[in-house]
Amino acid sequence: MVFDFIRLELLKSIRSTAFAKSALVAVFLGFLAILLLAYVFLLGFVLKEIIIKILEVVDAIDFVNSNLIYFFLFEFMYRYFIQKLPVIELEKFLHLPISKSKIIHFLLIRSFVSPLTLISLLLFAPFAFQEVALKFGKSSGVMWLCSILLTSWSLHWLMLWFKQKFEDSLIGIAIVFGVMLLGVGSSYYGWYNLGNILKPLFELASISPIPLIVLLLIFFGLYFMAYQYYFQNAYLEDLGEEETIRFANQSLGVFSRFGMAGELADLEWKLIIRHKKSRTFLMLSGFFLLYGLIFYTNPAYQAEEGFSHMFIFVGSFITGIFMIQYGQLFLSWNSGNFDFFLRNREGVNALIKGKYLLLIGISCMCFILSVPYAYFGWDFLLIHLATFLFNMGVVIHLVVYISLWKPKPMDLNKGAMFNYEGVGIAQFFMIIPMMGAPYLVYLPFALFINQYAGLLALGILGITGILVFPKLSALSINRVMQNRYEISSSFRQEL
Amino acid sequence: MITVQGLKKQYKDAVVLDVESLEIPRSECFGLVGNNGAGKTTLFRIMLDLVRASAGQVLINGEDVSKGEAWKAKVGAYLDEHMLLSYLTPDEYFATLRKIYGLSEEDLKLHLAKFTEFFNDEILSKKKYIRDLSKGNVKKVGIAAAMMGNPEVVLLDEPFENLDPSSQNRLKKFILREKETSQVTFLISSHDLNHVTEICDRIVLLEKGKTIKDLKEKELMRGELNEYFGT
């Protein structure tokens, strides 16, 4: 039975249209995953060296023990964003004569087979043997490592329960935000020292087996909790709940001035708000607005005079992240209803213009929201203005034009994290012009005249692009019209 | 109204559609029947310029569908849910179409009033996205949308599928009435022989992409079709 399930799983991944069409993407991602895990392992190996040599801490074990809690808080965060829920598979099996408990056990355990499970092992196993085992003996090292693994793996089950129960709800976001605050509050502001509070617990783990036993109980307890929750909610109505209507019969007033294109921009806005994947994209561009805080205040990027060249890149991202992220899957967002636009007169034309309008509108919002960065210096306002103009005049057309290379269908109701549906080679190559184009214009002027001349060049080219907008957007429209049959049939998944 | 000339659709070696010529005059109710995979939907898709023909052409009012777009204003169609915006509520969807067709609010009200019975209070002013409606109700939305903007030609793929018996009846009456009063040309594909023989003036039978029968005699239709399908 279990083997049949496993075989089905394998077939599913091999035969999925996404896999067949973008085997290259799959290989690339697999490679990326291995690379990342290798980095984690490497980090684990030099963890001791880093702590002693670079951080100049005498007692490495003491240091690790008092900081482990932050690792777990961080793990909670990344698990929340990355970990996938296994329930989607459930409805395919529910009607079959297999006992529900068997299916759920299988799905839960299968979800455990994931790179995330390995991270804590790879990171702490070398340290446990190099340092803890050396100091306290082998059995202590094993006990210490096991309690870390059990904590990390307990988080896995906790997250399965937590995400299923609270995802996409305000409570969920509030709790995640609370966890973040818990970490930040203790380390940055020093209201309390979370590390020191929980340190004895991990110290105890290397001397006594009691924490190990307790954690083992917690591990199984949380597994059982997740199991119970899934078992009780294994009904179709609980899995894919109908959403409450968002923005019913409302429209964004601004767009109505732009005629048909405005209508469609408004539709697109509804599409974004009403699908999980696009909502996540929107949320992410909100987060990216804070991107500047990492770079602009970082001493590593402070130049002697003027500003670091790096900031052009940061500026492009802050003002254009939504355009880049959403625009790179330009037509795939409409893969479910592309025929609608084909069937209506001037439908494709209006659709594409509407999308442009929306991208420009949201980029304007991002630019306006980024104005407070002027607090760090007027240079940043100039950088944002120049990159914003350049994004709107030049990069937007590059992104859209490249994205029209074999657009792929995708399911908008899946989450956005590590979901590469709709992503093809074009989306990977896109990074080159996106990052390269601003520097291609900026650098010659910046190096030979001065940085402000570089910004001016970006701005002027951007404005020129905006002025010839109709011509440039017509290129994309024509391209869609020429390829309409291929696009439409690939969206219907006929190929 | 619609002229098909030497139409062919080929995927590599497999010919899925091969229609020598077909002439559909105005206000005809044209039925298309055939087994699964006979090419009914492909023919409709080519007529709507959603699929490229390998050879030949389709003319609507003398205009080649793959060359221009003017015909789109005169043609309504509902083939499948790809033609809907399923993330809208039915009300929002109709409002969007109203703007695309350039109708007034009053026009839309009048249009939807024609469907009051057909909708059976399940469609309008409900707080539900189209994607969350039942299959039959999605079909009703699609059909009502296809009829918007006073089209001269309406293409419907399996319109009776998933509808409850009383809705099927209402739809039949509606089609006959529209044909009578507004001279609308209907192209309907269906597996339900009773329904098509009842409302269609002419039925074409497709087999492996070829038109093997073109029946115009109402009395003989049913017999011939029953004989072919072995029913």
pLDDT digits (tens, 9 = 90+) for A160-196: 888 877 766 677 777 777 777 777 666 666 666 777 7
Is B52 part of the contact surface with chain A (CB cutoff 8 Å)?
yes
> What is the Cα A156 distance to its own chain's centre?
19
pLDDT at B113: 93
pLDDT digits (tens, 9 = 90+) for B166-204: 999 999 999 999 999 999 999 999 988 889 999 999 999
Is the pLDDT score of A206 beyond 90?
A: no
Pairing of strands B202-207, B210-215: antiparallel
The sign one gets for the Cα dihedral B108, B111, B116, B118 is negative
Tell me if chain B has a CB within 8 Å of the CB of A257.
no
Distances (CA, A) of A187 to A69, A72, A80, A149, A195: 11, 14, 21, 24, 9
Which tokens hold the place of B182?
């507004």
Helix ranges restricted to H, A128-256:
133-136, 138-166, 170-187, 194-205, 210-232, 236-239
- The residue of B48, B61, B63, B82 whose CB has the most chain A CBs within 10 angstroms, and thus the best one to mutate to test that interface, is B82
Selection from A221, A256, A297, A483 nearest residue B50 by Cα: A483
Q: Between the CA of residue A477 and those of A40, A222, A358, A407, B96, what are the distances in Å?
A: 45, 53, 16, 14, 21
The mean per-residue pLDDT over the stretch B44-67 comes to: 89
Q: Which range has the worst mean pLDDT, A217-231, A296-310, B64-78?
A: A296-310
Inform me whether the C-beta atom of residue B70 falls under 8 Å from chain A C-beta atoms: yes
- CA distance, residue A328 to nearest chain B CA (Å): 21
Instruction: Identify the burial level of A284 via C-beta atoms within 10 angstroms of its C-beta, where 0-12 means exposed, 13-18 middle and 19 or more buried.
Output: middle
Q: Which of B45, B134, B150, B151 is nearest to B90 (CA)?
A: B134
> CB within 8 A of A178, min separation 6: which ones?
none
Q: Cα–Cα distance between B117 and B115 in angstroms, integer?
A: 5
pLDDT digits (tens, 9 = 90+) for B123-176: 998 888 888 899 999 999 999 999 988 899 999 999 999 999 999 999 999 999
Inter-residue contact A34 to A122 (CB < 8 Å): no
In terms of Cβ atoms closer than 10 Å to its own Cβ (0-12, 13-18, 19+), residue B180 is exposed
pLDDT band at residue A22 using 50, 70 and 90 as cut-offs: low
Name the token pair of A252.
């964004």
**Per-residue pLDDT averaged across A296-302, rounded?**
73
**Chain B CB contacts of A489 below 8 Å:** 50-51
Residue A7: pLDDT above 80? no
DSSP B84: S
Which of the four pLDDT bands, split at 50, 70 and 90, describes residue A348? Answer: confident
Instruction: Map tokens 């509804």 to a residue.
Output: A270
Q: Is B149 left (phi over 0), alpha (psi -120 to 50) or beta?
A: left
CA distance A236 to B117: 31
Helix spans in B39-164 (H)? 40-47, 90-101, 105-113, 116-119, 135-146
The Cα diameter of chain B in Å comes to 52
User: Exposed, middle or buried, A266 (CB in 10 Å: 0-12/13-18/19+)?
Assistant: buried
Identify the residue among A337, A484, A489, A490 best suited for mutation to test binding to B, counting B beta carbons within 10 A and taking the highest.
A337
pLDDT band with cut points at 50, 70 and 90 for residue A495: very low
A55 touches chain B (CB under 8 A): no
Contacts of B71 (CB under 8 A, 6+ apart): B60, B61, B63, B65
Contacts of B109 (CB under 8 A, 6+ apart): none
> What average pLDDT does the structure give for chain A?
80
**Across A386-393, average pLDDT:** 92
How many residue contacts between A and B have a Cβ separation below 8 Å?
Answer: 79
Distance (Å, whole) CA A402 – CA A476: 9
d(CA A417, CA A73): 19
* Predicted local confidence at residue A284, as pLDDT: 77
**Mind listing the pLDDT tens digit for each residue in A101-133?**
887 888 888 888 888 888 888 888 888 888 888
Q: Does A242 touch chain B (CB under 8 A)?
A: yes
pLDDT over 70 percentage in chain A: 83
Of A270, A484, A485, the CB nearest to B88: A270
User: Is B91–A249 a contact, with Cβ atoms under 8 angstroms apart?
Assistant: yes
Under DSSP, is residue B185 helix (H, G, I), strand (E, B) or coil?
A: strand
- Which of A258, A276, A279, A339 has the highest number of chain B CBs within 10 A, making it the mutation to test binding with B? A339
Tell me the residue type at A144: W
Read off the pLDDT of each residue in B57-66 and give the average, rounded to a whole number: 90
**DSSP codes of every residue in A437-455:** HHHHHHHHHHHHT-HHHHH
- Could you tell me whether strands B29-34 and B202-207 are parallel, antiparallel, or unpaired per DSSP bridges? parallel
